[in-house]
Chains A and B, each alone.
Chain A
Amino acid sequence: MSRLTSRQRQLVYLTGILVLMAPIIVLGMPTTQQSGNLGIIAQKRLEYELGEPSLGNVDPASATMNLVLLGLRGVAANILWMEADHLKDTKNWSQLKSTVESIILLQPHFQSVWKFQAWNLGYNVSAECDAVPDRYYWVKEGVKFLTRGTERNTKVPELFHDLGDYYGKKIGRADEHVLFRQYFIVDPDEARWKGGPDEEINPNGIDNYLVAKDWYLSANDKVTGGLIEQHKMAWPIFANYPFRSQMDYATIRQEEGKFGDVTSEAWRTGYREWTEEYGRMDFATPGGVVRFEATEDEIARLSEQDGFPFEEKLHWLDRYQNMVNYRYWRLRCNVEGNADMAGARGDLANGRRLYREVQDMEGARAALYSSLEKFQRVVDTYRLPDGTSQLLNDETDLTESILKGILIWRSIVKDVFGEEIPAEYPMDELWNEPRYEALRVELEQQFNAWQGTMAR
C-alpha cells in the first residue's frame, strides 16, 4: 500500500465505499410497484406492518429527536427514566409529565412506557393529591396520555384494554367513584368545559362504563384482527370485558338508585350481547374449540371437526364457562332485565328511603311488601326441578338485599304498628331458610345497632 500515492489510496477507499454501499442501496430502496426485487427491506416492512406509518401516527418531533441523538437514544432514555423517577419522588408532577413526554419522543413504540407512565400519572400522582378534583385531573392526564399511546400504536391491544380499565375501574370503582362519575359528565373545570364533560376524554358525555366498553371492544378487535398478541390475561376473560362493562353500567345505575327503563334496557342489552355476541365466540381449549352458547348439535359438530370426544368437549366447555362465570352472568342479566325484578328493586329502594329518610311508615310498609311480592314472582320463575331457586342459590347479594327488606318490613309491622307478623308472606322461604340463619342474625344485629344510634 505504501507504494500507492495519496490519490490512488483515495480511489481505493472510494471503490471500497461504493462496493459496500451497493447492497445497502439495493436492500434499502423505497418500494414501488415496479421495484421487483429491489427495496427488500421496505417490502418486508410493509408485509409485516412494521413501518412507522403502519404502527400508528407519525410524530415528526419524535423522528427528529431520534435522528439528532444519533446512537445515544438508549442513554438519553435511561437518563430520562431516572429523572422521571426522581421527579415523581420529589412530587414535581408537572415536570414529571413533561419528562414523560420526552421519553415518549424517544420510545414511542415501547408499550411499557405508555403503560407505566400512564399508571404513574393516573394512579400514583392522582393518589398523592388531597382534593378530589385534583385527583380527577391526574386520572384524566393518565387517560389522555394512554389515548395518545393508542394513537401512536394502533395495533397494540393491551393499550386499548388498559384504557378500558382506566375508564371502567379507575373512574368507576375508585374510593372517589361517586365524584369521579359525576365529574366525568360535568367536569370540575367549569371555566373550560362550561358545565359539560371534558371533551378530550368524553366527547359524547356518556357514562364512563359505556366509554370503557368501546375501548374494550377495540381491544378485542385488535386481538382478533391484528398482528400483536395480548399477554394480559386468558383470552376468554380478556374478551368478556366489553360485555361485563355493559353489566357494570347497569349495576352502577341500580346502586345509584336509578331503576327505570334505561336500567332494565341496559340489562337486556347486556343479556343480548352476552349470549349472542360473547356466547357465540369461539375459544380454543385443550379440548378443541368451544362456544359458550353452543347447542348440543353444534357441540357435536365441533367435536367432529376437531376430533375430540363429545364428553371431553362438554368437560372443557364447562371449565371455560366456569372460568368467566358465564352461566351466572347470563342468569343475572336475564333476571335483572325482567320487569318484575326492576320493580322489586325499585320498590325496595323506595321502601328503605321512606322508612329511613321520610319516616312514612305506611308508605314504607306498602312499598316493601310490594317489593317482596315481585321478588317472589321472579324467584318462582327461576325455580329448579328440585324446588330450590336458581336465583337464590347463585346470588348472595340479592339474598342479602331481600333479607334486609324483610327485616325492615317485619320491624314496621311489629314495632311500629304493633301487629302480629302474618304466618305467611312473600319471600318467607328465605327468612325461614336455615342456610341463611347466620346472615339473618348478623343483619338483625346491625339493624338494631343502627336503630339504637338513630334513637340517640
Chain B
Amino acid sequence: MFEANPYNLGWAILQWVAALAVSGILALLVGFVISYLALGKKAPAAIKDTLKRGFDDLTKLSGRRIGALAYLALKESLARRALYVLGTFIVLFMAANLFLRTPEQDVPAKPYVSFVLTVVQWLLIPVALLLSCWGLPADIKDRSLHTVVTKPVRRSEIVIGRMLGYGLMTTMVLVVVALFGWVWIKRVVPARSQAQLISRVPVFSSADDVKDAFFFIDRAGNRQQFAVNVGDIWDHRSFIEGQTNSRAVWQFENLNPSRIGDDLRIEYRFEAFRSHKGNVDEGEGVRFRLFFVNEAKKLRVPFPQTGAGVEIREFTQETVRGATAGTEEEQAVLRIPRELRAEVAGDPSATGEKVDLFTDVMDNGKLQVEVVCLDAGQYVGAARTDLFIRLPDRPFAASYFKAMFGIWLMVLLVIMIGTTASTFLKGPVATLLTFGLVILGSPLRSYMEEQYTDRYQKGEVLGGGMLESAYRLVTQMNQQSPLPENFGTKTIQVLDEGVFSGLAIVRNVIPDFRHFNMTEYVANGFDVPFNDAGAAVLPSIMTVLGFFIPCVILGYFSLQLRELESK
C-alpha cells in the first residue's frame, strides 16, 4: 500500500488520545458495574484502591526485574521445541526453492524479493502468535506462574517482561531469516536481473490540495481530474489523446536543487493505448514529450528539445531486456540537462532562448511538468505516481532491511496483542482473537476502509450494509435495484446503520497492519519511505508505540484482577 502523501502525525496522535480516553472511560464504567454487583457499596473504594495500585504498578517499574522476567520468557520459549521445528521448516522451505527449481535467466528480480519478504511474514507471524498466546496460559495451567507472582515483582512487569522476552526470541529468528533471505536473493536472482536490485528514492508531485499535485488538461483546454477512460478494468491510469491539447500535469514543490545533482533525473512508467495499429512492422512505440512550465514567466521548455520525442517503455520492471538490463534506458529514466532552450510560441521548429532549469523554470522549489502524446489517434495513460523525480539511489540493502524492520515491528505488535490476550483468555481463544485481529488489520483492512469511505465520505455503499447485502443475496437481487419500501426495509436500514456506526468506532482500535508491509517498495526497487500515509517506517513505529501502552495497561489489569488458579 502506497499513498504518496505524508502520514498525518498530529491527527494520528489526536485520534490515539481520543481512542484511549474513550476506551478508558468505558473500561471504568464496566469495572464499576461489575464491582458494584459483586461488592455493593464497597465498590467505589475497591475501584479507587485498584486504580491507585495500578498507577503505582505501571509507573514504578524496575528495569532489572523486567529484564529478569524477559530472560525467563526467552529461556522458556527456547525450551519449546516447536520453535526449532519452525526454524528448520523456514530453512528447508527456502532451501527447497533454492535447489529444486531450474534456474531461469529471464526472470526479473521482483518475484524473488517479493517471495522472500512474504515468506518471512507468513512464517514469523504464526511463531509470534503461538509463542505469545500460549506462554502465560501454559504457565498458569502448570502453576509455574505462581512461583513468579510470589516473588516481589509487579504484574505489569510480568506483562512487559513477557512481551520483551518473546520479542527478543522472534528478533533472533528474524535476524537469522533476514540474513538468510539476503543471501538467498543475492544467489537466486539471475545475473541479468541483479541490476534491478536497487533502492530508488523518488520525489512525487505534491501540493497542499492533492488535486493540484496531478491533473489533466482535456482537448478543449479544461482542467480535469480524470482524462479518457479506455475501458481498462484497472482504472489506476487515465489516458491523454495524441496530437491534441490533452496533457497530464504534475506539480512538484519543495525541490532542492542541491539534492537533485547536476542533471534532473525523471523516471516515468506510462502505458500506451492504441486506437490503431500504427507502424507495427517497424516496431515503433507510442511517443510523448515533456514540457517544463513556468506559467508566471510564460516559459515552456520541451524535452527532448527536437526530434520525435521519447518512446514509451512499458513495464520496465516486468521483463529482462537483455542488452539494456539495469541501464537507465531500461528503467525508463530521462536525464535532463540543466541548460535547455525554451519553446517559441506558435513555432515548434524554432529554437528559443536559453534557460536554466533550476533557476529560470523552477520557482521557489516548485516545478510543473507536462506530458503530451505525440502520435495522433494513440493514447498515453498516466497516474500521479507514474512520473517522479529520482534522487541519487541508495543501496538495495537500505530498503531490504527497512522492510525487515517493518516485519519486525509487525511481529512485535502481534506479540503485544497476543500476550495481552493471553492474560485474560486461554491459549486457543487468545490465538483466535489475535489471529482475527491480524486478519482484520491486514487483508480485510482495505475492505473495511472502503466500506467506511463509501458510507461516510461518498454517502452510499453499493448494495447496502451487512443485513441489506444478506437480504439481496438470499433474494438474488442485484446491488443496484432499489429495495421495496416497507417496514422490513426500514428495519434493515436502521440496523445496518448501527453496524456502520460500530465499524466507524471499531476501526479506530483495530491496528492497521498495512503500514508494516513494505514488500512492494523493495520488490519494485524503491526505497522504503520514512513518512507516508501508506506503508512506511514512521506510521509503523507509531502504531507499535500506540498499542504498547494500552496493551500493557489492559494486560496488567487483567492479570491483576484475575484468579490465577488453573481451572
Contacts and interface: CB of A to CB of B under 8 A. Distances in A.
Interface stretch (B321-329, B339-347, B480-488): B321-329
Given A134-B315, A176-B280, A191 B325 contact: yes
A95 B321 contact: no
Interface string A169-194: 00000011011000000001111100
A176 B274 CA distance: 14
Interface string A118-155: 00000000001111111001100100000000000000
Nearest to B378: A130
A44 interface: no
Interface in A92-135: 92-95, 97-98, 128-134
A189 B314 contact: no
Interface residues of B, number: 39
B107 interface: yes
A61 B96 contact: yes
Contacts of A129: 314-315
A188 B318 CA distance: 16
A175 B314 contact: no
Contacts of A93: 315, 318-319
Interface stretch (B150-158, B176-184, B281-289, B449-457): B281-289
Contacts of A138: 319
Interface in B85-113: 96-97, 100-101, 105-108, 110-111
Nearest to B272: A130
Interface string A62-95: 0010000000000000000000000001111111
A60 interface: yes
B41 interface: no
Contacts of B320: 189
A95 B110 contact: yes
Nearest to A140: B106
B114 interface: yes
Nearest to A193: B322
B283 A134 contact: no
A94 B107 contact: yes
B234 A90 contact: yes
A175 B280 contact: yes
Given A89-B233, A91-B234, A137-B319, A130 B286 contact: yes
B111 A95 contact: yes
A191 B272 CA distance: 26
Contact of B314 (A92, A94, A130): A130
B280 A132 contact: yes
Contact of A191 (B96, B100, B101, B322): B322
Contacts of B312: 130-131
Contacts of B107: 94, 97-98
Nearest to A176: B280
B312 to A, nearest CB: 5
Contact of B321 (A61, A176, A178, A189): A189
Contacts, number: 90
Which DSSP category, helix, strand, loop or mixed, fits chain A's interface?
helix
A131 B313 contact: yes
Given A64-B96, A130-B312, A94 B110 contact: yes
Contacts of A90: 234, 236
B348 to A, nearest CB: 24
B524 to A, nearest CB: 10
Contacts of A132: 280, 283
Contacts of A178: 281
B322 A131 contact: no
B108 A94 contact: yes
B111 A192 contact: no
A120 B212 CA distance: 38
Nearest to B97: A61
B195 to A, nearest CB: 12
A95 B277 CA distance: 28
A189 B324 CA distance: 9
A89 B319 CA distance: 17
Contact of B111 (A61, A97, A175, A190): A97
B115 interface: yes
Given A89-B233, A90-B234, A61 B101 contact: yes
A176 B284 CA distance: 11
B405 to A, nearest CB: 23
Nearest to B278: A130
B306 to A, nearest CB: 23
A90 B236 CA distance: 8
Contacts of B274: 130
Contacts of B321: 133-134, 137, 189
B460 to A, nearest CB: 24
B283 A179 contact: yes
A399 to B, nearest CB: 27
B196 to A, nearest CB: 10
A44 B198 CA distance: 55
A131 B283 contact: yes
Interface in A20-59: none
A188 B111 CA distance: 23
Interface string B130-160: 0000000000000000000000000000000
Contacts of A97: 107, 111
A158 to B, nearest CB: 25
B422 interface: no
B206 interface: no
A94 B318 contact: yes
Contacts of B236: 90
Given A61-B100, A95-B114, A188-B322, A131 B108 contact: no
B546 to A, nearest CB: 31
B234 A89 contact: yes
Given A90-B236, A98-B111, A189-B322, A60 B100 contact: yes
A189 B281 CA distance: 18
A138 B315 CA distance: 12
A54 to B, nearest CB: 22
B170 interface: no
Contacts of A60: 100
Interface in B262-284: 271-272, 274, 277, 280-281, 283
B543 interface: no
A129 B269 CA distance: 12
Given A60-B100, A131-B285, A132-B280, A94 B322 contact: no
Interface in A253-306: none
Contacts of A190: 322-323
A342 B443 CA distance: 66
B339 to A, nearest CB: 31
A116 to B, nearest CB: 17
A137 B318 CA distance: 11
B281 A179 contact: yes
Interface of A: 60-61, 64, 89-95, 97-98, 128-134, 137-138, 141, 175-176, 178-179, 188-192
9 contacts: A91-B234, A92-B318, A93-B315, A130-B285, A130-B286, A132-B283, A176-B281, A189-B320, A191-B323
Interface pairs A-B: 7 shortest CB-CB: A189-B322, A98-B111, A130-B272, A191-B322, A93-B318, A132-B283, A191-B323
Given A61-B97, A189-B106, 11 more contacts: A64-B100, A93-B315, A94-B317, A98-B107, A98-B111, A131-B312, A131-B314, A133-B283, A179-B280, A189-B320, A192-B105
